[in-house]
Structure 1
Amino acid sequence: MTSSQFHSLPFVTSVAAVVCITTSLHAGIGTTTGRAVGGVLISPEGIVRNATIEEQRELANVARAAHQDPQGDLTKPTDMRMISLAGIQAELKKSHDAGKPVPSDVIYMAGLTRIEYVFVDADNNDIILAGPAEPWQFREDGSVVGAVSGKSTMRLADLIVALRSVETARKEAISCSIEPTAEGRQNLRKMLSRLRLQPGQNPAIFEAQLKEAFGPQMILLSGVPQDSRFARILVASDYDMKRVALALTPSNVQGLPSYLEMAQNNRQSATQNPRWWMACNYEALVKSNDELAWKLSGQGVKTLTEQDIVTEDGQVVSAGKSDQVAQKWADAMTENYAELAKQIPVFGDLQSIMDVTVVATLITQERLDQKAGIDMAGLKGQTDIVELTSYAVPKAIAPECSFVRGRSGWVVTASGGVEVNAFEVVENQEVDEQVKETRGVALAVTDRGWWWNK
């Protein structure tokens, strides 16, 4: 990540501070209309707003009605379920040829919650993905999670987008940022320069004026189709990270207070702001000597931070270092990420996004499809057997405001983003023959459909 990426509003004043970020955008489930996705409504013009609790309930009910509950062995959790990519393609073709919807077990990848292994099965011209799985269920907000652990359920649509975006991502990174307009930044700066607080006066009285001055912020996406669910997860997780940091949404996780709580009694610089972003977090990929078995290890996501310096004309440059309090908050988010992902499922969805992107990049970089002898034309979009849902592209979001007072004044800050650099993950490899034994056990099952358990 370059030091100039992912800045939304790096600006500080000693008079009053406002943290301006965005309205919630939660990941879609592919069954509602193009305007309604998960916890939000999106206008045809791409303007995003929160859905009310009633709207969320209605959307979740529509989604439940459109999908089938897990059946048979899919109702039981397992620490290792295998998924056949050749089998998934066959299921997609079957649905396409019959003119029927794709079954829910295919949409939700047989209940996988993580991908831990990738196996080449040349004898059957196949690639096998494996990991823990459990029955899926809908939360009240429409999120789809495991009924046992509460972890986000993986989606085939995300894997397909990842497979189709590897070459694009090679040219431009998969990323998301939410940025103010130049006019909005200038308007806010002018207004803040005029504000004067009386002793004990709450700056929240200026919230409406500051929101109006700041105006909507623009959503910038790269590396994946902007109308995809994948893109919405990037935006939603960026938004919710800021919400948690700025005490606009509780984390509900012990050990992860807001950044505002941490910064309240610390000295704040008049010219610097922290910036956070989420990135891939994996250990070295483990492979067998014959490179037919691969293992992914690690949490998948980490939070990073760096200081932004604001110049007199409002421009932003990197300080090349991090603020101690901001670093402490970033570390706390990384350390508590697993629990946070259960409390706020979009972070689990981001974890899934990281997994499928690493897997898609691994398959492409190591030419695993050629080694397996599998034709992945359907999954890669070279045939018409599956059409992904196209959503209204999120373009702008209205600002929200929060306040924090340090020992040197009120701070204005809102910056961050998401970066998915799977190429860097795939380049880090080591050999361990134990993964070959795991592959042998997984492929030893002969009576199998497109999925099976160890």
Structure 2
Amino acid sequence: MRLPVICRYLCLVLATSLLIPQATWAGGFFRNGAVGGVSIDARGVLSEPSTEEAQSLRQTVEAQLAAVPPELDTQLGLRRISLRQLEAAMAEATQKEFGKLPDEIRFLAGLQRVQYVLVYPEQNDIVLVGPGEGWRVNQLGQVVGKTTGRPVIQLEDLIVAFRTAYQADEAISCSIDPTAEGTAAMRRFVKSQKRFSPEAVTGMAEALGPQQITITGVPESSHFARVLVAADYRMKRIAMQLEESPLQTLPSFLEMLADSRAKLNNMMPRWWLACDYEPLARSEDGLAWELRGQGVQVKTEDSLVSDDGSIKAVAGRTNPIATRWAEQMTRQYDELSREAAVFGQLRNLMDISVIAALVRKEQLIERAECPLPTLTGENNDFTLQAWNPPKTVATQCSFVKRNREFLITASGGVQIDNWQVASQSQVSPRVAEVRNENPHVGGRWWW
């Protein structure tokens, strides 16, 4: 029997990650901090920490950080990082400091995005260039710029990006999906209800059960992987109105849905975060490259939920409200990344993944005669510590009343097509000018 007033339900899995706040040295790399404000237990189950745990985390991270060196504490439009000398600085720290890396190395001198890749064969060097400034710890224990609030790029993520480009052939992605058994059980539960009640929402979540987290292309236990999952998690929580949007101008999908008359027909909207770059700009000689574009976009398509619980993508078909929400989040992504640092972290991962693919594709290491054995994984001097990999997350449900229709939105993820981005470029004389500006002087690895 159908419900007299069946509600439109949105059942969503939420997954994100938090590194356990402890001081540990592993293979010369110091670990701390959080990703997105959600903890992962030994079984790989994701959950949100309590207020006390979050406060403790921030205090722990702050206590572990040294004061920012005065010469790094100012905001710069373009900060430069020498990869050759960065490798040397890591090697020196390993030998002299028993593997302890100073904060300026761990946080890449406060670099917040990579905008240019400059190759200097005459100096046997490759230089990354982008905005940078001093850093601080935000409320979630994330290390961000002092004035902008944008997350800094972390060395461990750069290492994972390069090692993935040089050692792995699998695409970088994460997804959070319900099981077919859970989806079928949820549909049976809905059909069994004679009336809607708050208990029905709880019953739906229990019927759908834990949802599965899949990560490809990067180590599941890496900080890189945790950022992927965290960004997907936060996106869905905002869409589902399970947490307040960081931007007043970005309503939830549920709010948009409540005012809509769009038909559902058992379709399940799926959102995912993907690369959004213009063709790379390059100099005529291929020694200077520029990343152009916002970096990240939100995409959506419909999936059909069958009676047996299987979910099949319907190519080219999208829920108009889901599309409108995706487009609005894409338009406001830059502002959103300032308010919710995990979205800036994700963009950083996309930037450095594209850069790593570019360096390998264009053989820039060979052109510069600049070996980077630590970054590319040719040596074993740095082994990044493994943490509990995210495996499952409990279903949470939100709903709006809407006649006899129901909707679940549980799948999605992140897809980084870095090789495709690295394969598209256009000649731009202006990029060569950047290469000739502010040349490297002295032995410091950043300037």
TM normalised by structure 1 equals: 0.91
* Contact 1:14 1:411 (8 Å CA) reproduced: no
Is 1:278 aligned with 2:277? no
Letter in 1 for 2:106: I
Residues 363-397 of structure 1: per-residue CA shift (max 9 Å, x gap):
00000000110111111122233221211111111
Please report how far the alpha carbon of residue 251 of structure 1 lies from its aligned counterpart in structure 2 after TM superposition: 1.7
Counterpart in 2 of 1:261? Answer: 255
- Name the counterpart of 1:392: 388
Q: 1:191 aligns with which of 177, 189, 192?
A: 189
Q: Secondary structure of 2:11's partner?
A: coil
Structure 1 residue 66: deviation in Å? 1.8
Match of 1:363 in 2: 359
Q: How many angstroms apart in 2 are the aligned matches of 1:29 and 1:273?
A: 34
Cα pair 2:5 2:401 within 8 Å, conserved: no
Q: Give aligned-pair identity as a percent.
A: 37
Give the letter for the 1:272 counterpart: M
Contact 1:16 1:192 in 2 (8 A): no
Q: Partner letter of residue 111 of structure 1?
A: G
Secondary structure in 1 matching 2:373:
coil
Partner SS state of residue 434, structure 2: helix
Per-residue CA deviation, residues 35-54 of structure 1 (Å, 9 max, x unaligned), is 98442332222122111111
Query: Is 1:86–1:127's contact at 8 Å kept on the other side of the alignment?
Result: yes
- What is the aligned partner in structure 1 of residue 62 from structure 2? 64
- Alignment-mate amino acid for residue 9 of structure 2: V
SS in 2 for 1:166: helix
Q: Distance in 1 between matches of 2:179 and 2:269?
A: 20
Matched, 1:234 2:245: no
Relative to structure 1, the CA distance from residue 105 to residue 84 in structure 2 (aligned partners, 3 Å threshold; closer, same or farther) is same
Match of 2:27 in 1: none
Pair 1:289 & 2:287 matched: no
TM-fit CA distance, 1:142: 0.3
Q: What are the equivalent positions in structure 2 for 1:376-387 lying under 5 Å apart?
A: 376-387=372-383
1:7 alignment counterpart? none
Q: Is the 8 A contact 1:14 1:270 kept in 2?
A: no
Q: Paired residue for 1:436?
A: 432
Mapped to 2, the partners of 1:14 and 1:226 lie a distance apart of 43
Structure 2 residue aligned with 1:20: 11
Instruction: Verify the 8 A CA contact 1:118 1:359 in the aligned structure 2.
Output: yes
Contact 1:47 1:396 in 2 (8 A): yes
Q: Is the 8 A contact 2:374 2:380 kept in 1?
A: yes
The residue that corresponds to 1:140 in the other structure is: 139
**CA 1:14–1:119: 2 relative to 1, 3 Å:** farther
| Change in 2 beyond 3 A, CA 1:211/1:103 | same
Deviation at 1:212, TM superposition (A): 2.0
Structure 2 CA distance for aligned equivalents of residues 108 and 275 of structure 1: 34
- Which residue matches 1:333? 329
Does structure 2 retain, via aligned residues, the 8 Å contact 1:234–1:418? Answer: yes
Aligned residues: 434
- Post-superposition offset of 1:407: 5.2
Matches within 5 A, 1:155-166: 155-166=154-165
2:326 aligned partner, one-letter code? A
The alignment partner of 2:184 has SS state of helix
Give the 5 Å matches for 1:79-228: 79-98=77-96, 99-167=98-166, 171-197=169-195, 203-228=197-222
What CA distance in whole angstroms lies between the structure 1 residues aligned with 2:304 and 2:427?
A: 43
TM-score, structure 2 as length reference = 0.92
From the superposition, tell whether residues 32 and 308 of structure 1 become closer, same or farther in structure 2 (CA, over 3 Å). farther
The residue type paired with residue 292 of structure 2 is S
- Superposed CA deviations along residues 194-228 of structure 1, whole A, max 9, x for unmatched, are 1132xxx5x43323322222221111010111110
Letter in 2 for 1:393: P
Distance in 2, matches of 1:264 and 1:397, equals 27
Q: Which residue of 2 aligns with 1:353?
A: 349
Contact 1:29 1:143 (C-alpha < 8 Å) held by counterparts: no
Q: CA 1:437/1:363 → structure 2, altered by over 3 Å: closer, same or farther?
A: same
RMSD (Å), alpha carbons: 2.1
Unaligned segments of structure 1, at least 5 residues: 1-12
